[in-house]
């Protein structure tokens, strides 16, 4: 979908009301000393906002938690959003990501995903845990190891 400035401005306005609700929820969580238990490798629905600029990921979407579990005890976590829009090539009738910094999670392997989805490691970001909604499932350890390699490639290591 092509970016539209006017729609983006409208979405940003709607997001402001939702963001205020998240701020209120965050305040309640802190007052009640509630803990949100998050583990690396988990895929959760995450509210990324509306009206983000250009190609920034937004809306409620599945995201992979990639931060270390010891860091996940804090207020924030590191995530990679999933996207169902990605470039791939077919090799022996199997989808292979076109870019070395992408990793595909196949819906037939992960039943909690509606469609084949791509982790685009260039979209890595830090979020407050109050944005995290329901837990969908976990990825396999060897897939997480492959994602780590793509993150290192993305960052130039």
Grouped pLDDT means (10 residues each) for the chain, 157 residues: 74 76 79 84 92 71 96 94 92 91 96 96 93 96 96 87
- pLDDT at position 33 is 81
- Please report the DSSP string for 99-121 in residue order: STTEEEE-TTT-TT-SS-EEEEG
Fold of the domain built from segment(s) 5-155: SH3 type barrels. (2.30.30)
The residue ranges of every structural domain in the chain are 5-155
pLDDT, position 116: 96
User: What's the DSSP call for residue 131?
Assistant: G
- What does each C-alpha distance from 131 to 18, 44, 77, 92, 120 come to in angstroms? 11, 10, 10, 39, 20
Nearest to 81, CA basis, from 67, 60, 106? 60
């Amino acid at each position: 979908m092509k970016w539209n400035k006017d729609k983006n401005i409208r979405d940003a306005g709607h997001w402001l009301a939702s963001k205020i609700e998240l701020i209120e929820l965050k305040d309640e969580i802190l007052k009640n000393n509630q803990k949100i238990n998050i583990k690396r490798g988990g895929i959760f629905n995450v509210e990324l906002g509306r009206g983000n600029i250009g190609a920034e990921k937004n809306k409620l979407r599945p995201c992979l938690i990639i931060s270390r579990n010891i860091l996940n005890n804090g207020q924030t976590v590191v995530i990679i959003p999933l996207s169902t829009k990605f470039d791939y090539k077919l090799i022996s009738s199997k989808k292979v990501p076109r870019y070395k910094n992408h990793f595909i999670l196949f819906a037939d392997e992960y039943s909690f995903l509606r469609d084949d989805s791509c982790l685009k490691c260039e979209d890595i970001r830090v979020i407050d845990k109050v944005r995290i909604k329901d837990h969908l499932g976990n990825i396999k350890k060897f897939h997480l190891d492959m994602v780590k390699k793509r993150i290192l490639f993305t960052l130039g290591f």
